[in-house]
Structure 1
């Protein structure tokens, strides 16, 4: 009978890669199940160390002395693949126990009370189900890291780690069926026909009852896998192509999956404590840390490349538009979810539900958070003119008056000095003539003469400030604007305490989505964007149906 049983069990022997045993050989097959595994007691008698005599097999730990305990009904002896013996007893309708003996000595007890339990000994697995049925095999194991794995029958499982515990879920058609997490040092899980033993360290083994094809789980990438990117905070983004103009990124942090960003015909973004990840529908990405202005209030802001943006709020939703030429707005686009992605010139901008926003300027060595534009900034305009002798002049007009900066036309290196209200002309020893005429007026001009003799100089008007902008008051000016003369220009200050207003966009605040200039903005995001991170688990996704644009 025992020979026939050994022959039957031997058919289950399969090759595999053994994982590190959870226990030493002297405590093999100890299991985690409904009841903790009971370690075997040491033999009651042994020969002296110097003796070569075989120890007397008289203790309760030897198989010859085994007896069923009160409440147990002996079911059968089962010879395992490697020759160990399992004495299986019935305790209740859905409660069976197995006493495991190796080389005649008890090495562990497996108790399946209501759910299956398993033991492992140097790569040999023994699973006892609550109804008394068993599975026994060698190998078919893998040292697991979070990711996807394919079993010998094609079943795809995903391994993940949450709160320090590993778990597995079945993946079908790219969708998970829900994770089953460890409840102890070892758990028995079933997925279809597959019986899986999951270990505390993430290693797991799989057995396919009745199948001639066996093997260790193989790491795989999901269909459409494109690449893996490392983010500035050390997280990883696995990017998959779902279809035309549709890509998905699965985000992992410290081996744990923390979210998904789904860019379906529009750009989407995630924010993990200031680390931004943007996924575009074509699969391209941007990621950066910082450049973030949290909780920005409605107003005008400028990016490091000079792009001017206006933030507004309507019916509880924030919107954004670009301002061109200081006053012309391209039209507000309002958030339809917690986060939106926009493109303005060379910048990718992420706008949050609370008005905070971050920007990344492509190709720029200088990166920084958007800065609020003051009333003076909003009214400042700049132009550059050539003034002769290979010299250019940058003419700036603002509510604080005109400024002229001279530079070499070849390398932009500044030459001479800077002219403004306080220093409206170059000194005589400069060798050239350059001055600002009417520096306190709204229409100043720059006069320059770089050649001697009877040659005429040239005059250039400063650019006009946008409509609605006026000069700031000059300290010391009277109510009628009269002051003493300034410099050697013979002009008088002309200011009477006027105030400056922030110019409004050419499109009134509150314009709907379809009114924006599509040449400057990406499609607004938010439909599948990731929410703000909580407790370090960033990029958690808020999934909704995509909002349509006009």
Structure 2
């Protein structure tokens, strides 16, 4: 038997017991951090330094502890709780102040962590379900529903509801987005593992690591998905 350990800023730590053919036998995670029958447990499942414990027998047999792979600094939660937002009956957001110009957020649905956002000197974002949430580095948020493309959309140019253009590109397997508005053409931002934000004072564009584009136009009561124009 082997155990696969995974650390995730979006969902916490998880450990999966695998059989000799690599098939999952049992998993412990934030929903079920302890499995006494199989001798598995995670201490600090949503902390920066979770620890995996395993023992082959029950009773007083001591647990053998193994640290999870460390997350990068921008994926590690720290700071002081500043406020809590309720987006709907299922979804809440905890916003933390780390320092001046640095805020973080944790998104929970039905009590489970589903997304983590880090906004250090520039905005960060999360895509979950049909929602998009942007957190700026002074703790402000903008959220909306819909107004996004399908996962893995076609590369090329997309038109937004206010006439702005987003060019979706891909380099070394990583999606990038370049925003052009009345204020000019901005540098391409790349979503390497986590969503990124391109914006001016009217337009917000979020690019997910899977190529999803989501946008928000300030002043528009109804947000619309980007329209593909061509390569």
Question: Which residue matches 2:218?
Answer: 362
Residue equivalent to 2:125? 269
State the SS of the aligned residue for 1:373.
strand
Instruction: Note if contact 2:134-2:142 (Cα within 8 Å) is conserved in structure 1.
Output: yes
- Name the SS of the counterpart of 1:162 in structure 2: coil
Q: State the alpha-carbon separation in 2 of the partners of residues 307 and 315 from structure 1.
A: 26
Equivalent pair of 1:248/1:261 in contact (CA under 8 Å): yes
Structure 2: distance between partners of 1:333 and 1:257: 26
Which residues in structure 2 correspond to 1:331-350 (within 5 Å)? 331-350=187-206
Q: 1:296 aligned to 145, 150, 153, which one?
A: 153
Task: Supply the distance in 2 between the matched residues of 1:303 and 1:243 (Cα, whole angstroms).
Answer: 34
> How much has 1:164 moved relative to structure 2?
9.8
Equivalents in 2 of 1:233, 1:302: separation in Å?
Answer: 33
Quickly say closer, same or farther: Cα 1:359–1:232, change in 2 above 3 A: farther
Does the Cα contact within 8 Å between 1:309 and 1:321 map onto a contact in 2?
yes
In the alignment, which residue of structure 1 is the partner of 2:97? Answer: 241
Q: 1:177 to 1:307 in 2, by over 3 A?
A: closer
Equivalent of 1:307 in 164, 172, 195: 164
Per the alignment, residue 180 of structure 2 pairs with: 323
- Return the alpha-carbon distance in structure 2 between the equivalents of residues 177 and 323 of structure 1: 41
Question: C-alpha separation between the residues in 2 aligned to 1:266 and 1:342?
Answer: 10
Which blocks of at least 5 consecutive residues in structure 1 are unaligned? 1-159, 181-221, 375-501, 503-550
Which residue of the partner structure matches residue 31 of structure 2? 162
Mapped to 2, the partners of 1:333 and 1:288 lie a distance apart of: 21
CA distance in 2, matches of 1:175, 1:240: 14
- Higher relative contact order (Cα pairs below 8 Å, separated by 6+ residues): 2
| Greater radius of gyration (CA) | 1
Is the 1:233–1:275 contact (alpha carbons within 8 Å) kept by the matching residues of 2? no
Query: Which residue is 1:534 aligned to?
Result: none
Q: Indicate whether 1:279 and 2:141 are aligned.
A: no
Deviation at 1:237, TM superposition (A): 0.5
TM-score (norm 2): 0.61
- Pairs aligned (count): 172
Contact 1:232 1:287 in 2 (8 A): no
Is structure 2 residue 125 aligned with structure 1 residue 256?
A: no
How far, CA to CA, are the matches of 2:171 and 2:42 in structure 1?
A: 45
Q: Distance in 1 between matches of 2:86 and 2:103?
A: 17
Q: Which has the larger share of strand?
A: 2
1:308: how far off? 1.7
- Give the TM-score, by structure 1 length: 0.28
- Answer whether contact 1:232 1:288 (CA < 8 A) is retained: no
226-235 vs 276-285, greater mean Cα deviation: 226-235
Q: 1:332 to 1:359 in 2, by over 3 A?
A: same
Tell me, which stretches of 5 or more residues in structure 2 are unaligned? 1-28, 35-40, 53-77
Question: Any conservation in 2 of the 1:277–1:286 contact (CA below 8 Å)?
Answer: yes
Indicate how the Cα distance of structure 1 residues 338 and 314 shifts in structure 2: closer, same or farther if over 3 A, else same.
same
The alpha-carbon deviation at position 304 of structure 1 amounts to 1.2
